[in-house]
Every structure is written in C-alpha cells, then in structure tokens.
Amino acid sequence: MTEPAVALHEVRFAYRGSANVLDIPALHIARGERLFLHGPSGSGKTTLLGLIAGVLAPTSGRVQVLGTDLGALGSAQRDRFRAAHIGYVFQMFNLIPYLSVRENITLPVRLSSARRERLAGTDADREAARLAAGLEIDGLLDAPTAALSVGQQQRVAVARALMGAPELIVCDEPTSALDSDRRERFLELLFDSVQNAGSTLVFVSHDLALATRFGRTVALTQVNRSSSVVAA
C-alpha cells in the first residue's frame, strides 16, 4: 500500500492536431484519499479522467494507477485494468437503457472476470442488493431504468461503480444534474459507500461549494500549465 492510487509525472496530452489540453508536471493522489478536483468547464477535467482511467494515452509523460504504469500496457490491457480496478460515474446518462437496475449494477462483474473475483465470496445479485440498500435504491432493483429519476439514476451509477469494490472510484460531475437537497444526500451516501469499500475517490466538479466535504481540493488550473490556453 505504499504506492499512491494515482501518480502523474510530466504528463502532456493533446488531441490530434491541436495544442496541449493538459500539461501536468505532477499530481499524486494517496490511497484512501477523497480528492475534490476543481475546474471550470473546458479545463480538461474529463480528459484528465480519461488518462487516469486509461481510455486515453498521454502524448508524453507517465500515468501510474495503483502502482501500474498505464503507458506500459497496450490499449486492451488498459481496458482490462480499468474493468478490474476502477469504477466510473458520469455526469448523467450512466445507465444502459435496455437493462434493468439490477443488471446495470452487476454489469462490471459480468463483463470482467477480474472484477468478478473481487466479489470475494458473495454473488453478484447479493452484492448488488447490499450496495443498493446502502444507496437507498433497493426498492428499484427490478425497475426499468426509464422509470428512474435523475437522482436515482446517479445512485445506480454509484452502486455499479462500487460493484466488486474497485480501488479507485472516479466521478465526473456526478451531482451537476441534481438539485441541492438531493446533492447533499447523494454525497453522504457516496462517501459512506466508498468508505465501506475502502476505495480512493476522485471527484471532479466545477461547483466549489462541494469542496468543503472532501479531504483535499486540487484546482486543475493550478496543476495544469496549459489551462490558460484551453480556457481562452
């Protein structure tokens, strides 16, 4: 447990044919940390998360997640790594529309055998029920996703991200579609669930009001040397 959950070293990223979106000399996120990553829209937050999740590869520099250098892995290996170790929550539209809530939650362990092994004894449906109960959506397990409110959908997305207790949970503006009451409740449930799973949480938002609830806040504009270029 000595190596950090995430370590970026001299990471640069540019979409093909354009200027650098990201130029980050160093960023460390310790294991078990709850990090609030703040940045205005267009500052490259989602791009940074894409690098951490291994969906994107940096133009140069090194991205280490859980001690693994993602640059040393091929794209298919990075996909497998993500499936095994990372849970991801989007801003909205997190759910596969043609699957039920239960099927959405258990999807990671159905797609990845490494993730399935992390279930440690329980079966997928029981684990889904346990996570759903923690997020107060256990009454919705058999509902079609179309019947859910946005807040309920986001909780389902959290339950899915936590399925099989991955080491790293990445949330990309998960609360921006929620009103403030629901936002508070959502954060409480998220923190409890992440704590139970013992995962590291990286939470990205443009809403600084949320920052007080996190252990550490990092402004992307401060760690990213290219931010002025992009923000323009």
Partner 1 sequence: MYLVSLAWRSLRARLTISLLTIASIALSVALLIGIEHLRVGVRESFAGTIKGTDLIVGARGGTTQVLLSTVFGMATPSGSISWDTYERWKAHPAVAWTIPYSLGDSHRGFRVIGTTAEFFERYRFRDQTVTFASGRAPTTDREVAIGYEVAQRLRYTLGAEIVLAHGVAEVSFAEHEVHPFTVVGIIARTATPIDRALYVTLEGLTEMHAAENERGGGLMMGPPAQHTHDEPPITAFLLGTKNRFETLQLQREMNEDRSEPLTAIIPGVALAQLWDVVGNAEQALRLVSLFTLLVGLLGMCVALYASLESRRREMAVLRAIGAGPRSIVALLVSESALLALSGAIAGVVLVYAGLALAAGPVEARYGFALTMTGLGSTEWIFLALVVLAGTLVGLVPAWKAYRSSLADGLSVKV
Q: Site residues (CB under 8 A) for partner 1?
A: 46-47, 49-50, 53, 55-56, 75-76, 79-80, 82-84, 86, 88, 90, 93-99, 103, 107-108, 110-112, 115, 160, 172
* Residues 6+ away with beta carbon under 8 Å from 113: none
36 and 21 Cβ atoms separated by less than 8 Å: no
Q: CA–CA separation, 163 vs 2, rounded Å?
A: 24
Give the nearer residue to partner 1 in terms of CB position, either 46 or 215.
46
Cβ 180 to partner 1, closest distance in Å? 25
Cβ 143 to partner 1, closest distance in Å? 15
Give the nearer residue to partner 1 in terms of CB position, either 117 or 188.
117
Cβ 181 to partner 1, closest distance in Å? 26
Cβ 168 to partner 1, closest distance in Å? 12
* Residues 6+ away with beta carbon under 8 Å from 102: 125, 128, 141, 142
Give the nearer residue to partner 1 in terms of CB position, either 123 or 188.
123
Q: CA–CA separation, 70 vs 47, rounded Å?
A: 15
Q: Backbone dihedral region of 124: left (phi > 0), alpha (psi from -120 to 50 degrees) or beta?
A: alpha
